[in-house]
Structure 1
Amino acid sequence: MIAEMMRPAMPPSLWAETVRETFDAPPLTGDADVDVAIVGAGFTGLSTALHLARGGARVVALDAGEPGWGASGRNGGQVIAGLKDDPDALDARFGAADGGLMAETAGSAPALVFSLIEEFGIDCDVQKAGWIQPAHCDSALATVRRRCGEWAARGAPARMLDAGEVATLLGSRADAYRGGWLDERGGAVQPLAYARGLARAAAACGAAVHGRSRATALTREGERWRLDLENGVTVRADQIVLATNGYTDGLWPGLRQTVVPVYSFQTASQPLSHNARAAIFPNDHVASDTRRLLWYFRLSREGRLVMGGRGPYRETPGEDAARMALKNLETLFPEAGPLEPSFSWAGRVAMTRDHFPHLHQLSRGLWAGLGFNGRGVAMGTMMGRCLAQAVRGETPGMPVTRPERFKFHGFGRWGVAAYAALYRRRDAREAADPSL
């Protein structure tokens, strides 16, 4: 009864309203002894559990809420290849070996997502037509031209689009963008359904997945680890994986200070008219543009425009933020007509100092994977596979790093707000003069 009362409610959203995948994740009510205990049952934790369990490990994945309760079940659902830096910059920054490995890993992350969906029959409204990055000004167009060229040179199915092609594939106003590129590796999912499907897949492989099981203490006991849960249950494990991303707390000292949580805000319109549905994203692509405070948007299976971006620093963004976001979409898609918000919601993503995801070894047998900087559907899933490799003693698909804290972590929220205001002014200036 106490555990039930303390269960965080799944916030209302389009995804919570339309999800068809179900998964029962009862609280862990008895002490457990396992090979690996995972804290956090979002994309990363569930992918880790799946990849370890299918190899025969005894695994338990624990979440304070339910699978997908955090940003995994509350994001925009876009599945995008790549990282902050493009392949050549990764080589220059990390060296050809590590940089090439990171590019290959990040580039193949969408394929991993789609392969798991197909293998386990996950009912998550998958869209695989590709991801478009339209350029909002001339300098951004030069950037995406270089980006497209670098990925194409490494074998990615990528090509440049002129302004007319972007307008046709998006169904947007003809002069909305200067051009862009299409990455056929990308797409979208219904994220809460995908999270629940991953939980079902992990359980089918032998993992135990429990919700309403908040971990409150982590201690070393000889050669093993001990997790104490809020309801008095104890879990002992050879190894621990922390997969809490934007909801990282003080369970392991200092880890929370390595990321700044930022709320990713989403809104969904009312269903569009038949004519508007036929004109907007006619080939089932998804898009996120090149603004510093980027707009990312797509059409849901129910014919709603779904838009995301940076919003208020709170779990409930409110109707004003939703209406402002949809006003932006009205400027892009005149065919849609006046848009009314049906849903608005938010979830915490985690930003790192260098804007790269990190696989940390915090201590012997203690691992963490976090910091997806807004690309968590693909990279969170891939991080799970990399963590499973590290736990098994294999070479993971990305470098193992040491945590680096933000020096003024307590002011991170205000720093994010200051940068958002600066970026908003720059975006407005470039929108007024796209030749910049």
Structure 2
Amino acid sequence: MDFPSLWATSAPAAPSWPQLDHSLGCDVLVIGGGFQGLSAALHLAEAGTEVVLLEAQEPGFGASGRNGGQVIPGLKDDPDTLDRLWGPAASEFAGRTADTLFELVARLGIDCDAVQGGWIQAGNRQVHLPGLQARMAQWQARGVAADWLDAAAMERVTGARGFVGGWRDPRAGRVHPLKLARGLAQAAAAAGVKLFAHSKVAGLARGGTGWQARLDAGATVEAERVILASNVYTPTSLEPQLARATVPANSFQIATTPLTADQLARILPGGEVVSEARRVGTYFRLGPENRLMLGGRGSFADPQSAAGFARIEAELAGLFGSGFEITHRWFGRVGMTPDHRLRLCAPGPGLLAATGFNGRGVALSISLGKAMAAHFAQGTPLPIPPSPSIPSLPFHALHPIYGGLGIHYYRLRDALDR
């Protein structure tokens, strides 16, 4: 069964990108046409670097074109923890990721429905509130004009039932992710990036003072340096360690018919995006044509019919009541790590790779791509010290089993929280 996303049905026709059918060379090769790779390639080209970008499908095919379009600053760790882990440069970088995205969109004039309207992190149980209040206070101490919402305010600003409190971050917002990915691809090409679609890399090897990428079709690309930006879509034939560094969890999403005027007055009247503090929670927002969109963790197996989205549809009914007609159902992979931390690695000379964005990928991947470009082009230190190796998860092939058990365990803990 085909599951076209709301983004795919509401975006203009995709540009046609050539397939690489001949060998060539460049300064930097970028593998992967998602947000991370497109941002890196764009900023490298703007710095005068000769760049080739290879995408196995089309720009925005993977998580970058299927996610919820929530632009949330920061990493999963709070800023005080980031200071302890990697230093103040890391927390400063994390705090600016949303601003970096919106500033880039404005500079390039990308039409992607970008609105910096804020993010609400919602608490479902009293046990969530101390952690949310501490997170808010840490960002407030760094100059963020965040505010606290009690239970009554949460119902007023979200229109949803059952939240006991939460905090609002004005740095955040929303975009149409597929429009953004395609806009970044066009901007990168205009800046001089040689961008190729349907050009799957079969192997990457060190040769002499540089790297050689070998494509399925037989062509090769010689490059001094490489950014491996294929994230959770990395095949084991390309980089087995990176492919085994994360758990590729499915995120399921649904969208309703356009809301009525009465519904719009009640549901997210301020236009914020929302995600829950539960271990296995949902996230929701208004999308194109004022449709209500909601997503969350699905099964590790790909759905075979609309019935596979029953749990997500039940979540929507629990929050907003019944009677919504679902018009779109789709899914995509999210790279998760056990500690919810990004994996930024430099496993070889002139090679950078990052994976495991843990649901923060929209703002973080664009900002990280920019930082990678500055590192290669100007020698600027990376905001997070890269690991010299790529840590692999043990028994990775069994991730559908232990990942599924983990989700059931966390759902049980969520149900027992008070």
Q: Which TM-score band applies after superposition, normalised by the shorter structure?
A: over 0.9
Aligned CA distance change for structure 1 residues 29 and 67 (closer, same or farther; 3 Å): same
Alignment length (residue pairs): 414
Partner residue of 1:12 out of 4, 27, 32: 4
Partner residue of 1:91 out of 62, 69, 83: 83
Partner residue of 2:62 out of 57, 61, 70: 70
Name the counterpart of 2:249: 262
Alignment map for 1:6-405 (pairs within 5 Å): 12-20=4-12, 22-92=14-84, 94=85, 98-173=86-161, 176-250=162-236, 251-316=238-303, 318-334=305-321, 337-392=322-377, 393-402=379-388, 403-405=390-392
Code of the residue aligned with 2:360 in structure 1: it is R
Moved more, 19-28 or 79-88: 19-28
Whether the 8 Å CA contact 1:359–1:387 is kept in 2: the answer is no
Name the counterpart of 2:411: 424
Structure 1: state its 5+ residue gaps: 1-9, 431-435
For residues 198-220 of structure 1, the C-alpha deviation after alignment (integer angstroms, 9 at most, x for no partner) is 11111121111111000001122
Structure 2: state its 5+ residue gaps: none
The CA deviation at 1:396 is 1.5
In the alignment, the residues of structure 1 paired with residue 250 and residue 311 of structure 2 have an alpha-carbon distance, to the nearest angstrom, of: 16
Whether the 8 Å CA contact 1:311–1:317 is kept in 2: the answer is no
The CA deviation at 1:315 is 4.2
The CA deviation at 1:21 is 7.0
For residues 9-43 of structure 1, the C-alpha deviation after alignment (integer angstroms, 9 at most, x for no partner) is x9611000001374322211221111011110000
In the alignment, the residues of structure 2 paired with residue 324 and residue 264 of structure 1 have an alpha-carbon distance, to the nearest angstrom, of: 12
Whether the 8 Å CA contact 2:301–2:400 is kept in 1: the answer is no
In the alignment, the residues of structure 2 paired with residue 324 and residue 269 of structure 1 have an alpha-carbon distance, to the nearest angstrom, of: 15
SS at match of 1:293: coil
For residues 96-127 of structure 1, the C-alpha deviation after alignment (integer angstroms, 9 at most, x for no partner) is xx232221111100011111111111111112
In the alignment, the residues of structure 1 paired with residue 338 and residue 415 of structure 2 have an alpha-carbon distance, to the nearest angstrom, of: 26
In the alignment, the residues of structure 2 paired with residue 20 and residue 292 of structure 1 have an alpha-carbon distance, to the nearest angstrom, of: 36
In the alignment, the residues of structure 2 paired with residue 35 and residue 249 of structure 1 have an alpha-carbon distance, to the nearest angstrom, of: 24
SS at match of 1:400: coil
Aligned CA distance change for structure 1 residues 24 and 394 (closer, same or farther; 3 Å): same
SS at match of 1:368: strand
For residues 191-236 of structure 1, the C-alpha deviation after alignment (integer angstroms, 9 at most, x for no partner) is 1111111111111211111110000011222112111111111111
Structure 1 length as normaliser, TM-score?
0.91
Code of the residue aligned with 1:212 in structure 2: it is H
Whether the 8 Å CA contact 2:357–2:365 is kept in 1: the answer is yes
In the alignment, the residues of structure 2 paired with residue 89 and residue 73 of structure 1 have an alpha-carbon distance, to the nearest angstrom, of: 31
Identity fraction in percent: 42
Structure 2 length as normaliser, TM-score?
0.95
The CA deviation at 1:317 is 6.1
SS at match of 1:417: helix
In the alignment, the residues of structure 1 paired with residue 313 and residue 265 of structure 2 have an alpha-carbon distance, to the nearest angstrom, of: 19
In the alignment, the residues of structure 2 paired with residue 185 and residue 268 of structure 1 have an alpha-carbon distance, to the nearest angstrom, of: 25
Moved more, 405-414 or 373-382: 405-414
SS at match of 1:395: coil
Name the counterpart of 2:399: 412
In the alignment, the residues of structure 2 paired with residue 417 and residue 161 of structure 1 have an alpha-carbon distance, to the nearest angstrom, of: 33
In the alignment, the residues of structure 1 paired with residue 13 and residue 187 of structure 2 have an alpha-carbon distance, to the nearest angstrom, of: 11
In the alignment, the residues of structure 1 paired with residue 52 and residue 13 of structure 2 have an alpha-carbon distance, to the nearest angstrom, of: 21
